[in-house]
Amino acid sequence: MTKGLSATRAGLETSPEWVDEILLAGRDTEICIRVDGPIDRSALRRMVAERQSRLEAAGLVAGGSLALRLPPSVAYIANLLAGWRIGAQVILLDHRLTQFEVDKALERLAPQVVVAPQTVRSSALRAFADVEESVSTYPGRPAATPHAVVQLSSGSTGPSKVIGRTAADLVAELDRYTRIDGVPERGERIIVLASMVHVLGLVGGLLYGLHAGAVVQPPERLTGDSILDAVASEPTPATVLGVPFHIGLLASVLDPPKLPSLKRMTTGGELQPAAVLGAFDAKYGVPLGNMWGMTEVGVIATDLFGEHRPSLMPAPGLDVVERDGELLVSRPQSPYIGLVDPTRWADGWLHTKDAGTVDPETRLVTVKGRLDSQVSVGGLKVDLTEVEATLGELPGVLAAVVLFDEVITAYVQLAAPATADSVDAALAERLAAYKRPRRVHVLDPFPRTTTGKLVRDRSVLKAATS
């Protein structure tokens, strides 16, 4: 653990000083963010101070509650850090939510102050918007818990959960990042594609970059060519941080240029099908690392060099165990707000609801899918994750989700020349008849959550087929 993190963690439940000491410290002239030009530490501190004054004028105080509903932007970053600097609890609402969803969330979470877009100047697919925000009061209440940030889970398997994390918990995750081999170093760049409203982009991209001295640089647009332009814009080493969807964007670039500054790409979320991995490796020849994490705890395990695929090594400071086929992660307190459910957290252990194994000698963790993937077909047990993994290895399969809906049903996204018939024929050679999907639905594009995960909600997938 670095000395700065160790010294700052004590008292973080109530003190806002961690923002200055962990995130904003550094030489005035050091570039920390690059969006439409460089932003140095001095400029960022000035932006945060300006937003802090506006929020305090609206009545926000230490222990208060603030909701941010802003698209990725410098305004989002400045207001987030300003809210924490005041000592308020910050609720993050994805800007892509409908007004109906926002109203429900505000009613549920009851913040005292809301920051929303007033004017947005942004073109289609632009990664960072030019935003003028509005600050308004809301008939809410002070923070009922000591959490610094409140997030809604991505909801890939159903309704979102309300998850809170303290400042000490965020600093503990930053500590884990600093001790992982292969993360960006001071003076390097993080090309952030993952949303900063969600944990990978927020902590692994923005907060880690500010703390470690790595320049946070989103591309101009979320297209394959624009991502490559961002990598090539500076000679300093660049790590691309995204979700599986972004691998597909880069793999789709027909003739990418040589990129000596590209160090690696790291993604969170599900492992990628062999076809996608092969296409990426053939075009870029750099490590494609993977991370496993949850909104509740942040990064859990990594394989940044692609050496252990499909296994990962637990991040420093975390214990991962397997009990009755389920992976559990050490977590001192429950991360859930308004939910007391021993099937989610109990006795210092977070129940991930993921099936998997932990090698007793190497500690390598292998995630095998959701626990509810075991079904009975004619009295025979079928592990749907096995079926899904087999699908993902087939040529032309870009994405796959397998569910049980009276019969085993597969939802896939394909690349030519693959077809539903060719997939079915290939599965006949690889799986016993009772394991094979009775229905194969081809979806293009495949429904994804706001964090880029494949949607597994049965009702959403059914609607997509129609």
pLDDT tens digits for 328-358? 999 988 999 976 677 889 889 999 988 899 9
Q: How many domains does the chain have?
A: 3
pLDDT of residue 379: 61
Q: Which pair of structure tokens corresponds to residue 182?
A: 């292969």
pLDDT of residue 7: 46
- Chain mean pLDDT for the chain: 89
Is pLDDT of 17 > 60?
A: yes
Judgement on whether residues 76 and 204 belong to the same structural domain of the protein: no
pLDDT tens digits for 49-88? 999 999 999 999 999 999 999 999 999 999 999 999 999 9
How many CB atoms lie under 10 A from the CB of residue 176? 24
Judgement on whether residues 144 and 21 belong to the same structural domain of the protein: yes
Task: Provide mean pLDDT across the span 448-453.
Answer: 76
* CA pair distance 454, 452, nearest whole angstrom: 7
Task: Provide mean pLDDT across the span 391-402.
Answer: 90
252, with CB counted inside 10 A (0-12, 13-18, 19+), is: middle
pLDDT of residue 318: 94
User: For a pLDDT cut of 70, what percent of the chain falls above it?
Assistant: 93
Q: Which domain holds residue 77?
A: 3-152
Phi and psi based region of residue 212 (left: phi greater than 0; alpha: psi -120 to 50; beta: remaining): alpha
Is pLDDT of 155 > 60?
A: no
Say which CATH number the domain at 122 has: 3.40.50
How many CB atoms lie under 10 A from the CB of residue 88? 25
pLDDT of residue 160: 64
Phi and psi based region of residue 4 (left: phi greater than 0; alpha: psi -120 to 50; beta: remaining): alpha
Judgement on whether residues 191 and 138 belong to the same structural domain of the protein: no
Q: What is the pTM of this model?
A: 0.83
Is pLDDT of 2 > 50?
A: no
* CA pair distance 92, 149, nearest whole angstrom: 7
Q: Is residue 204 part of a domain?
A: yes
* CA pair distance 439, 447, nearest whole angstrom: 18
pLDDT of residue 236: 97
Judgement on whether residues 184 and 148 belong to the same structural domain of the protein: no
Q: Is residue 367 part of a domain?
A: no
Judgement on whether residues 73 and 30 belong to the same structural domain of the protein: yes
Q: Is residue 358 part of a domain?
A: no
How would you classify the pairing of strands 439-442 and 407-414?
parallel
Q: Which of 230, 253, 286 is the last residue of a domain?
A: 286
Query: What's the half-sphere exposure (Cβ side, CA atoms, 13 Å) at 9?
Result: 13
Judgement on whether residues 29 and 144 belong to the same structural domain of the protein: yes
Judgement on whether residues 54 and 189 belong to the same structural domain of the protein: no
Q: Are 413 and 448 in contact (CB under 8 A)?
A: no
pLDDT of residue 372: 67
List C-alpha distances in Å: 285 to 88, 197, 259, 263, 278.
45, 30, 10, 10, 10
Q: Which of 244, 263, 286 is the last residue of a domain?
A: 286
CA neighbor of 210 nearest in space, from 47, 91, 88: 47
Q: Which pair of structure tokens corresponds to residue 152?
A: 């809604």
Task: Provide mean pLDDT across the span 365-377.
Answer: 79
